[in-house]
Amino acid sequence: MQYITHTKFTVPLNREEVAQSWSQRGYSCDLFIDPPGREWNDFVHCTNELVTVVEGKLRMTIDGSECIAEPGDEVFIPKNACHSVKNIHHATTKWLYGYD
């Protein structure tokens, strides 16, 4: 399954544009700010999730499939999929996430 859509949104990213797009699709939109090296491992949610990087770079693993998300990319995480996220940028990474 293709989890990532590269350059879904224009950069520099407009958070309101992302929130509006996601709202039309039934998703919330909130912000995470992670320091270099921060990892979130082996999460499972009972809802679908979307992730878009505002600045920085994330390595994401979804049900064993790995992708690199950069600013403007959108990642779809299906409900019940085991997933992990790591900030692989040399600085802080800011990313938006939302659930349906």
DSSP 3-32: -EETT-S-SS--HHHHHHHHHHTT---EEE
Asked if 49 and 69 count as a contact pair (C-beta separation under 8 A), the reply is no
Supply the pLDDT for residue 98. 98
Block means of pLDDT (10 residues each) for the chain, 100 residues, are: 93 96 98 96 97 98 96 98 97 98
CA distance 25 to 76: 12
Provide the residue ranges of all domains of the chain, joining segments of one domain with +.
4-99
Residue pLDDT, tens place only, 1-12:
789 999 999 999
Predicted structure pTM score? 0.95
With respect to CATH, is domain 4-99 assigned 2.60.120.10? Answer: yes
Measured CA to CA, the distance from residue 22 to residue 82 in angstroms comes to: 22
Distance CA 89, CA 30 (A): 20
